[in-house]
Structure 1
Amino acid sequence: MHPTKKGIILMNLGSPDSTSVKDVQKYLKEFLMDERVIDVPYFFRLLLIKGIIVPFRAPKSAEAYKTIWTDAGSPLIVLTQQLKEAVQQHIQMPVAVAMRYGNPSPEAAYQSLLDQNPDLEEVLLFPLYPHYAMSSYETAVEYMKEVHQKMNYKFKLKTIKPYYNHPEYIQALANSIQPYLQQEYDHILFSYHGIPERHIRKSDTTGFHCLQVKDCCNVPSVAHQTCYRHQVFETTKLVTEALQIPKEKFSISFQSRLGKGWLLPFTDKRLEEMPAQGIKKLLILCPAFVSDCLETLEEIAERGKESFMEAGGESYTTIPCLNTQPLWIAAISKWVNDYKMGEKNMLLS
């Protein structure tokens, strides 16, 4: 039994339980019915998701999952569990894993910590999302709070803030990119997960800054605390500065769009355009994800490569997510140990 009365939950997006169409349908319904993912009135969302999107998309998604599935299961689940085990080696507090959608559930994660210490007094939620977005970080945090309140747990719940600009996160990300810079390349594409522009406006705590002020992401504002667009720009700026990558050698795009009005430019379109613009040798990474998953392994590493090469590309290299990279494990472990010791510089919300 752990002597401490604190526990840690690492929370990631989630995955279907298997590649069967039935399990993928179940997962997609839970994911897409989230009002922070598709923010339209409930009845319309119900008709859209269960009547149109899921029946059409589930079989295709199931086939996509089959291309990345491992003997141990979903890469995202396996990698998150491996991260948990690695972090556990460096801290004295019990660590559990939760997924926003699918398994293991928040209830299972809370119970795992209670099983290890029935006298648990405080839980630190560590969302595995570096950037704030209502459809990722926000929904994960709010769901964990909702379950915590509903189950009437006696222990307190605290949360790590987005760490998109934290020096140790930047150092870990830069370190993961560094080896790939030794090869010949024309350009580096930072492909972030896309979100609708309306989500940027909804998350603007001032109500008048994001996508309304000229060059809004570079004009100082408290709105940046919850602005996904600003935060991904800042991550890219800090990492490329740390690696001394010239501005003309990198750019940003957004992937995985669903519908119109999403952040531009689109990754899939850029991959088709780049070879004609003289970019024949490409490095690509997805910093919005810390664990490789369907969006990185199938959408980018497989379909993205196919598009780029068919358009005239010569080489296409996908840089893996942080996964269980040593500096990433060290960063999480340090932040958690600082929290245990009551350090004031922790990223606590």
Structure 2
Amino acid sequence: MVFGKKGILLVNLGTPNSPSRGDVYVYLRQFLTDPRVIDIPWVQRQVLVNGIIAPFRSGSSAKLYQELWTPEGSPIKIYGERVAAGLQALLGDEYAVALGMRYQNPSIESALKQLIDQQVSEITVFPMFPQYASASTGSVHDEVMRLLRKEQVIPNVRFINSYYDHDPMIEIFADNARKFDIASYDHILFSFHGLPQRQMIKADACNHCLKTANCCETVSIKNQFCYSAQSHGTAYALAKKLNLTRDRYTISFQSRLGRDPWIQPYTIEVLEKLAKQGAKRLLVFSAAFVADCLETIVEISSEYQEEFHKMGGETVDLVPSLNDDPRWIKVIADMVR
């Protein structure tokens, strides 16, 4: 017999507490010293992050967060709170819903305490990342396990790994795109957040990663947990839903950091190539994110728009993410049930 409520832990990446340089500095330090994010030896990581990246990037990053910030705060946190509240209302009193951020606040620790204090009988961990990656979903699961192992009583725990091609979610993304005149665009971009190739190789237990040019184009037992393969799966599901032929779209990866090779092709290079081919109007999906954030609102809608214009293009339009759409909240409810 189950006595307590069922706990739902929603987790997204996180956000600085404010767009001030000091708060951005603290956020960058916590984020980038995660060994699943920058996977180099501890001493090198500390020197790189605390001695170079956080001190030198916090100022420029703070300016970007100031551009992103709204009167209510950070969009990713605002949407997370709204989704959590909507999910609680939809699931009812048999469930307890809490929101945690992998980095900064509200923390995963505070969210778990909120659930445990309500004597939940089980916890479902729902990372708000459709595609699995060690640096995102893996890090969330790692942190939840680290925190729970301190407890004397650990309730039943269920981890959701990924939902990259979940049809109800894909349908909402596609419906958001249908609000645009898709036929009027010269090309469609499916731009996903990038990862270093070394992390892809480390996660490969089957000696499959990067062995062929098209190793990510089909999800199989060998690459079922590959971030790039799952990203391709998301793009193909969206293209099929929108009846896009293969020549109408490109799958690319953004947000590269450092000099090491990341998943390719890089979005900025695809923009340049399309501009040289005479493309003027681009429609961009950023389906690695279920809530609009710095990487979508600023990087795509602002920075890529500016760069594309310099290259001779005209328009880069972003398909809105799922955000706090009631349909998305219902999709989450159905998945966690």
State the TM-score, normalized to the length of structure 2.
Answer: 0.94
CA distance in 1, matches of 2:32, 2:315: 35
CA distance in 2, matches of 1:276, 1:5: 57
* Deviation, structure 1 residue 177: 1.7
Contact 1:191/1:252, CA 8 A, preserved across alignment: yes
CA distance in 2, matches of 1:13, 1:163: 17
1:108 is matched with 110
1:333 is matched with 333
* Deviation, structure 1 residue 287: 0.5
Give, as a single letter, the amino acid of the residue that structure 2 aligns with 1:316: V
* Deviation, structure 1 residue 252: 1.1
CA distance in 1, matches of 2:4, 2:243: 42
CA distance in 1, matches of 2:336, 2:220: 29
2:47 is matched with 47
* Deviation, structure 1 residue 81: 0.7
* Deviation, structure 1 residue 4: 4.9
Superposed, 1:74-93 pairs within 5 Å as 74-92=74-92, 93=95
2:204 is equivalent to residue 204 of structure 1: yes
Superposed, 1:87-166 pairs within 5 Å as 87-92=87-92, 93-115=95-117, 117=118, 119-166=119-166
Secondary structure of the 2:90 match is coil
1:263 is matched with 263
* Deviation, structure 1 residue 243: 1.0
* Deviation, structure 1 residue 153: 4.2
Secondary structure of the 1:224 match is coil
Which stretch of structure 1 is more off in the superposition, 66-75 or 265-274?
265-274
* Deviation, structure 1 residue 200: 0.9
CA distance in 2, matches of 1:167, 1:229: 19
* Deviation, structure 1 residue 229: 0.9
Q: Specify every segment of 5 or more residues in structure 2 that has no aligned partner in the other structure, as ranges.
A: none
* Deviation, structure 1 residue 336: 2.0
CA distance in 1, matches of 2:135, 2:249: 26
RMSD, matched Cα: 1.6
* Deviation, structure 1 residue 270: 2.1
1:192 is matched with 192
Secondary structure of the 1:99 match is strand
2:279 is matched with 279
CA distance in 2, matches of 1:261, 1:169: 31
CA distance in 1, matches of 2:217, 2:263: 17
Superposed, 1:238-317 pairs within 5 Å as 238-259=237-258, 260-317=260-317
Secondary structure of the 1:180 match is coil
2:214 is matched with 215
Which stretch of structure 1 is more off in the superposition, 24-33 or 179-188?
179-188
* Deviation, structure 1 residue 213: 4.4
Secondary structure of the 1:172 match is helix
* Deviation, structure 1 residue 182: 4.8
* Deviation, structure 1 residue 150: 2.3
* Deviation, structure 1 residue 288: 0.4
CA distance in 1, matches of 2:160, 2:219: 23
Q: Specify every segment of 5 or more residues in structure 1 that has no aligned partner in the other structure, as ranges.
A: 338-349
* Deviation, structure 1 residue 217: 2.1
* Deviation, structure 1 residue 183: 6.3
Contact 1:25/1:58, CA 8 A, preserved across alignment: yes
Contact 1:271/1:308, CA 8 A, preserved across alignment: yes
* Deviation, structure 1 residue 273: 3.1
* Deviation, structure 1 residue 98: 0.5
2:24 is matched with 24
* Deviation, structure 1 residue 314: 2.1
Contact 2:217/2:232, CA 8 A, preserved across alignment: no
Aligned length: 332
